[in-house]
Structure 1
Protein backbone atom coordinates (compact mmCIF):
# COMPACT_ATOMS: atom_id res chain seq x y z
CA UNK A 1 0.00 0.00 0.00
CA UNK A 2 1.37 3.38 -0.97
CA UNK A 3 0.59 5.80 1.81
CA UNK A 4 2.65 8.65 0.29
CA UNK A 5 1.56 10.32 -2.94
CA UNK A 6 2.30 13.50 -4.86
CA UNK A 7 -0.49 15.76 -6.10
CA UNK A 8 0.19 18.90 -8.13
CA UNK A 9 -0.54 22.02 -6.12
CA UNK A 10 -4.06 23.16 -6.91
CA UNK A 11 -6.90 25.29 -5.55
CA UNK A 12 -7.75 22.60 -2.99
CA UNK A 13 -4.31 22.07 -1.43
CA UNK A 14 -2.24 25.25 -1.94
CA UNK A 15 -3.23 26.82 1.37
CA UNK A 16 -2.44 23.65 3.31
CA UNK A 17 1.01 23.67 1.67
CA UNK A 18 1.49 27.23 2.92
CA UNK A 19 0.62 26.17 6.48
CA UNK A 20 3.34 23.50 6.69
CA UNK A 21 6.25 24.27 9.00
CA UNK A 22 9.90 23.34 9.17
CA UNK A 23 11.93 23.14 12.35
CA UNK A 24 13.48 26.46 13.35
CA UNK A 25 16.93 25.31 12.17
CA UNK A 26 15.62 24.08 8.80
CA UNK A 27 13.69 27.28 8.09
CA UNK A 28 16.99 29.17 7.72
CA UNK A 29 17.89 26.91 4.76
CA UNK A 30 14.77 27.22 2.64
CA UNK A 31 12.24 29.66 1.22
CA UNK A 32 8.68 29.34 2.45
CA UNK A 33 6.24 27.20 0.49
CA UNK A 34 4.17 30.32 -0.20
CA UNK A 35 7.17 31.93 -1.94
CA UNK A 36 7.79 28.73 -3.90
CA UNK A 37 4.17 28.53 -5.05
CA UNK A 38 4.27 32.20 -6.10
CA UNK A 39 7.55 31.59 -7.95
CA UNK A 40 5.92 28.72 -9.88
CA UNK A 41 3.26 31.12 -11.21
CA UNK A 42 5.96 33.29 -12.84
CA UNK A 43 8.34 30.51 -13.95
CA UNK A 44 6.13 28.05 -15.87
CA UNK A 45 8.79 25.32 -15.91
CA UNK A 46 8.49 24.93 -12.13
CA UNK A 47 6.10 22.20 -10.96
CA UNK A 48 4.97 22.37 -7.31
CA UNK A 49 3.49 19.30 -5.60
CA UNK A 50 1.82 18.64 -2.28
CA UNK A 51 3.06 15.54 -0.48
CA UNK A 52 0.19 13.54 0.98
CA UNK A 53 0.34 10.81 3.59
CA UNK A 54 -2.95 9.03 3.32
CA UNK A 55 -5.33 11.99 2.76
CA UNK A 56 -3.36 14.66 4.66
CA UNK A 57 -0.95 17.23 3.19
CA UNK A 58 2.33 16.70 5.07
CA UNK A 59 4.93 18.16 2.74
CA UNK A 60 5.80 20.11 -0.36
CA UNK A 61 8.22 19.77 -3.24
CA UNK A 62 8.96 21.54 -6.48
CA UNK A 63 11.18 20.85 -9.47
CA UNK A 64 12.01 22.42 -12.82
CA UNK A 65 10.91 20.79 -16.07
CA UNK A 66 13.55 22.76 -17.98
CA UNK A 67 17.25 21.83 -17.92
CA UNK A 68 19.57 24.20 -16.10
CA UNK A 69 23.16 24.26 -14.81
CA UNK A 70 25.19 21.05 -14.94
CA UNK A 71 22.94 19.97 -17.84
CA UNK A 72 20.42 18.67 -15.34
CA UNK A 73 16.85 19.07 -14.18
CA UNK A 74 16.86 20.75 -10.77
CA UNK A 75 14.91 19.99 -7.64
CA UNK A 76 13.94 23.32 -6.06
CA UNK A 77 12.28 22.30 -2.81
CA UNK A 78 11.58 19.24 -0.73
CA UNK A 79 10.16 19.67 2.73
CA UNK A 80 8.14 17.64 5.20
CA UNK A 81 6.22 19.37 7.98
CA UNK A 82 8.13 19.24 11.27
CA UNK A 83 5.34 17.20 12.87
CA UNK A 84 5.71 14.45 10.25
CA UNK A 85 9.49 14.21 9.98
CA UNK A 86 11.36 11.02 10.80
CA UNK A 87 8.74 8.69 9.27
CA UNK A 88 10.40 8.15 5.87
CA UNK A 89 7.87 10.39 4.11
CA UNK A 90 10.55 12.59 2.56
CA UNK A 91 12.41 9.62 1.14
CA UNK A 92 9.28 8.03 -0.37
CA UNK A 93 8.15 11.38 -1.80
CA UNK A 94 11.61 11.98 -3.28
CA UNK A 95 11.59 8.53 -4.87
CA UNK A 96 8.22 9.36 -6.47
CA UNK A 97 9.57 12.70 -7.65
CA UNK A 98 12.68 11.08 -9.17
CA UNK A 99 10.45 8.67 -11.09
CA UNK A 100 8.41 11.59 -12.49
CA UNK A 101 11.50 13.66 -13.31
CA UNK A 102 13.22 10.70 -14.99
CA UNK A 103 10.47 10.84 -17.64
CA UNK A 104 11.34 14.44 -18.62
CA UNK A 105 12.76 14.78 -22.17
CA UNK A 106 16.37 13.60 -22.34
CA UNK A 107 16.70 13.41 -18.56
CA UNK A 108 20.09 12.02 -17.62
CA UNK A 109 20.89 14.06 -14.52
CA UNK A 110 18.79 15.37 -11.65
CA UNK A 111 20.46 17.99 -9.49
CA UNK A 112 19.59 19.35 -6.08
CA UNK A 113 21.31 22.13 -4.18
CA UNK A 114 21.25 22.46 -0.43
CA UNK A 115 23.11 24.12 2.41
CA UNK A 116 26.00 21.89 3.61
CA UNK A 117 24.78 22.33 7.20
CA UNK A 118 21.44 20.70 6.37
CA UNK A 119 22.37 17.19 7.54
CA UNK A 120 18.87 15.79 7.04
CA UNK A 121 18.97 16.76 3.36
CA UNK A 122 22.49 15.35 3.06
CA UNK A 123 21.45 11.95 4.48
CA UNK A 124 18.34 11.82 2.30
CA UNK A 125 20.10 12.57 -0.99
CA UNK A 126 23.04 10.32 -0.20
CA UNK A 127 20.69 7.41 0.61
CA UNK A 128 19.02 7.84 -2.80
CA UNK A 129 22.29 7.74 -4.73
CA UNK A 130 23.00 11.44 -5.31
CA UNK A 131 26.74 12.05 -5.75
CA UNK A 132 28.76 15.08 -4.66
CA UNK A 133 31.02 15.98 -7.59
CA UNK A 134 32.27 19.16 -5.92
CA UNK A 135 29.79 21.58 -7.52
CA UNK A 136 29.06 24.67 -5.43
CA UNK A 137 26.65 27.53 -6.09
CA UNK A 138 27.07 30.33 -3.59
CA UNK A 139 26.48 28.86 -0.14
CA UNK A 140 24.92 25.67 -1.52
CA UNK A 141 26.41 22.41 -2.65
CA UNK A 142 24.86 20.66 -5.64
CA UNK A 143 24.61 16.88 -5.75
CA UNK A 144 23.75 14.84 -8.82
CA UNK A 145 21.55 11.80 -9.42
CA UNK A 146 22.43 9.90 -12.61
CA UNK A 147 19.27 8.60 -14.29
CA UNK A 148 19.65 5.09 -15.66
CA UNK A 149 17.41 4.04 -18.50
Structure 2
Protein backbone atom coordinates (compact mmCIF):
# COMPACT_ATOMS: atom_id res chain seq x y z
CA UNK A 1 0.00 0.00 0.00
CA UNK A 2 1.39 3.39 -0.99
CA UNK A 3 1.37 6.18 1.52
CA UNK A 4 -0.97 9.07 0.95
CA UNK A 5 0.14 12.67 1.27
CA UNK A 6 -2.02 15.40 2.78
CA UNK A 7 -1.89 19.00 1.55
CA UNK A 8 -3.82 21.84 3.14
CA UNK A 9 -6.51 22.99 0.73
CA UNK A 10 -5.74 26.35 -0.86
CA UNK A 11 -6.37 28.14 -4.12
CA UNK A 12 -3.49 26.34 -5.83
CA UNK A 13 -4.96 22.86 -5.42
CA UNK A 14 -8.71 23.41 -5.25
CA UNK A 15 -9.12 22.51 -8.93
CA UNK A 16 -7.47 19.14 -8.20
CA UNK A 17 -10.18 18.13 -5.74
CA UNK A 18 -13.37 19.97 -6.62
CA UNK A 19 -14.58 17.30 -9.06
CA UNK A 20 -13.61 14.21 -7.06
CA UNK A 21 -16.66 12.08 -6.33
CA UNK A 22 -17.68 8.90 -4.55
CA UNK A 23 -19.43 5.91 -6.14
CA UNK A 24 -22.94 6.63 -7.38
CA UNK A 25 -24.35 4.36 -4.64
CA UNK A 26 -22.60 6.50 -1.98
CA UNK A 27 -23.66 9.97 -3.13
CA UNK A 28 -26.58 10.08 -0.69
CA UNK A 29 -24.07 9.74 2.17
CA UNK A 30 -21.98 12.87 1.55
CA UNK A 31 -22.17 16.37 0.08
CA UNK A 32 -20.35 17.17 -3.15
CA UNK A 33 -16.85 18.58 -2.76
CA UNK A 34 -18.02 21.91 -4.19
CA UNK A 35 -20.73 22.20 -1.51
CA UNK A 36 -18.36 20.91 1.16
CA UNK A 37 -15.59 23.40 0.35
CA UNK A 38 -18.07 26.27 0.16
CA UNK A 39 -19.28 25.40 3.68
CA UNK A 40 -15.72 25.01 4.95
CA UNK A 41 -14.79 28.46 3.63
CA UNK A 42 -17.29 29.95 6.10
CA UNK A 43 -16.15 27.81 9.03
CA UNK A 44 -13.07 29.38 10.63
CA UNK A 45 -12.60 26.46 13.00
CA UNK A 46 -12.24 23.87 10.22
CA UNK A 47 -9.21 22.91 8.19
CA UNK A 48 -9.36 20.82 5.02
CA UNK A 49 -6.68 18.64 3.48
CA UNK A 50 -6.54 17.20 -0.01
CA UNK A 51 -5.45 13.58 -0.06
CA UNK A 52 -3.02 12.56 -2.80
CA UNK A 53 -1.83 9.13 -3.84
CA UNK A 54 1.15 8.92 -6.19
CA UNK A 55 0.77 12.69 -6.75
CA UNK A 56 -2.82 12.23 -7.96
CA UNK A 57 -5.75 13.84 -6.12
CA UNK A 58 -7.64 11.06 -4.38
CA UNK A 59 -9.78 12.51 -1.59
CA UNK A 60 -10.49 15.14 0.99
CA UNK A 61 -10.70 15.37 4.78
CA UNK A 62 -11.92 18.26 6.94
CA UNK A 63 -11.17 18.56 10.64
CA UNK A 64 -12.46 20.81 13.42
CA UNK A 65 -10.55 21.67 16.59
CA UNK A 66 -13.39 22.34 19.08
CA UNK A 67 -11.11 24.63 21.10
CA UNK A 68 -11.23 27.12 18.22
CA UNK A 69 -15.01 27.51 18.24
CA UNK A 70 -16.31 30.95 19.23
CA UNK A 71 -18.49 29.25 21.81
CA UNK A 72 -18.52 25.60 22.72
CA UNK A 73 -21.06 23.53 20.83
CA UNK A 74 -22.10 20.28 22.53
CA UNK A 75 -22.13 18.65 19.09
CA UNK A 76 -18.39 18.20 19.66
CA UNK A 77 -16.32 16.34 22.23
CA UNK A 78 -14.41 19.13 23.95
CA UNK A 79 -10.95 17.52 23.91
CA UNK A 80 -11.22 15.51 20.69
CA UNK A 81 -10.51 16.57 17.13
CA UNK A 82 -13.68 16.25 15.07
CA UNK A 83 -13.54 14.62 11.64
CA UNK A 84 -16.12 16.79 9.94
CA UNK A 85 -15.97 15.05 6.60
CA UNK A 86 -13.85 12.53 4.77
CA UNK A 87 -14.24 11.28 1.21
CA UNK A 88 -12.19 9.09 -1.08
CA UNK A 89 -12.74 9.39 -4.83
CA UNK A 90 -14.39 6.33 -6.37
CA UNK A 91 -11.26 5.54 -8.41
CA UNK A 92 -9.15 5.27 -5.24
CA UNK A 93 -11.49 3.40 -2.91
CA UNK A 94 -10.30 0.04 -1.62
CA UNK A 95 -6.66 1.15 -1.46
CA UNK A 96 -6.56 1.94 2.28
CA UNK A 97 -6.81 5.71 1.84
CA UNK A 98 -9.78 6.03 4.20
CA UNK A 99 -7.74 4.31 6.91
CA UNK A 100 -4.78 6.56 6.17
CA UNK A 101 -7.02 9.64 6.36
CA UNK A 102 -8.37 8.62 9.77
CA UNK A 103 -4.87 7.80 10.99
CA UNK A 104 -3.78 11.23 9.74
CA UNK A 105 -6.53 12.77 11.91
CA UNK A 106 -5.24 10.81 14.92
CA UNK A 107 -1.67 12.04 14.38
CA UNK A 108 -2.94 15.59 13.89
CA UNK A 109 -4.98 15.42 17.12
CA UNK A 110 -1.97 14.14 19.05
CA UNK A 111 0.30 16.80 17.55
CA UNK A 112 -2.00 19.64 18.65
CA UNK A 113 -2.49 18.25 22.15
CA UNK A 114 -6.00 16.80 21.96
CA UNK A 115 -7.05 13.56 23.69
CA UNK A 116 -8.35 11.79 20.59
CA UNK A 117 -10.71 12.00 17.63
CA UNK A 118 -14.48 11.98 17.31
CA UNK A 119 -16.78 11.75 14.32
CA UNK A 120 -20.33 10.95 13.34
CA UNK A 121 -21.44 8.57 10.64
CA UNK A 122 -24.64 7.27 9.17
CA UNK A 123 -25.26 3.82 10.53
CA UNK A 124 -28.68 3.05 9.09
CA UNK A 125 -27.86 3.69 5.43
CA UNK A 126 -26.55 1.04 3.07
CA UNK A 127 -22.87 1.57 2.27
CA UNK A 128 -22.07 3.30 5.58
CA UNK A 129 -18.57 3.27 7.06
CA UNK A 130 -19.42 2.29 10.65
CA UNK A 131 -17.50 -1.01 10.57
CA UNK A 132 -14.44 0.71 9.08
CA UNK A 133 -14.32 3.21 11.95
CA UNK A 134 -14.81 0.46 14.53
CA UNK A 135 -11.88 -1.50 13.05
CA UNK A 136 -9.80 1.66 13.53
CA UNK A 137 -10.57 1.70 17.25
CA UNK A 138 -13.60 4.01 17.38
CA UNK A 139 -16.42 3.16 19.78
CA UNK A 140 -19.97 4.52 19.98
CA UNK A 141 -20.56 7.18 22.64
CA UNK A 142 -24.27 6.43 22.85
CA UNK A 143 -25.20 9.80 21.37
CA UNK A 144 -26.93 10.46 18.07
CA UNK A 145 -26.30 13.79 16.39
CA UNK A 146 -28.26 14.86 13.32
CA UNK A 147 -29.48 11.25 12.99
CA UNK A 148 -25.91 9.93 12.88
CA UNK A 149 -24.09 7.82 15.44
CA UNK A 150 -21.23 9.50 17.30
CA UNK A 151 -17.98 7.56 17.59
CA UNK A 152 -14.90 8.37 19.62
CA UNK A 153 -11.26 7.30 19.72
CA UNK A 154 -9.23 8.26 22.79
CA UNK A 155 -5.46 7.95 23.10
CA UNK A 156 -5.62 6.89 26.76
CA UNK A 157 -7.74 3.78 26.09
**What TM-score, normalized by structure 1, do the two folds share?**
0.88
Q: Partner of 1:129 in structure 2?
A: 137
In the TM superposition, what is the alpha-carbon distance from 1:73 to its structure 2 partner?
2.5
In the TM superposition, what is the alpha-carbon distance from 1:102 to its structure 2 partner?
2.1
Q: CA RMSD in A?
A: 2.0
Q: Partner of 1:54 in structure 2?
A: 54
| Runs of 5+ consecutive residues of structure 2 not aligned to the other structure | 68-72
Q: Partner of 2:119 in structure 1?
A: 112
Pick the aligned partner of 2:105 from 73, 76, 97: 97
Separation (CA, whole Å) in 2 of partners of 1:41 and 1:97: 20
Q: For 2:100, what is the secondary structure of its paired residue?
A: helix
Q: Which is further off, 2-11 or 115-124?
A: 115-124
| Runs of 5+ consecutive residues of structure 1 not aligned to the other structure | none
Q: Partner of 2:70 in structure 1?
A: none
In the TM superposition, what is the alpha-carbon distance from 1:50 to its structure 2 partner?
0.3
What CA deviation, in whole Å up to 9, does each residue of 1:45-93 have, x standing for no partner? 1001000102011000101022452323211111100111011111112
Q: Which is further off, 52-61 or 26-35?
A: 26-35
Tell me if structure 1 keeps the 8 A contact 2:122–2:149. yes
Moved over 3 A (4+): none
Q: For 2:132, what is the secondary structure of its paired residue?
A: helix
Separation (CA, whole Å) in 1 of partners of 2:110 and 2:40: 20
What CA deviation, in whole Å up to 9, does each residue of 1:80-127 have, x standing for no partner? 00111011111112212210122234x113211111025452122111
Q: Does 2:52 correspond to 1:44?
A: no
Distance change (3 Å), C-alpha of 1:45 and 1:118:
farther
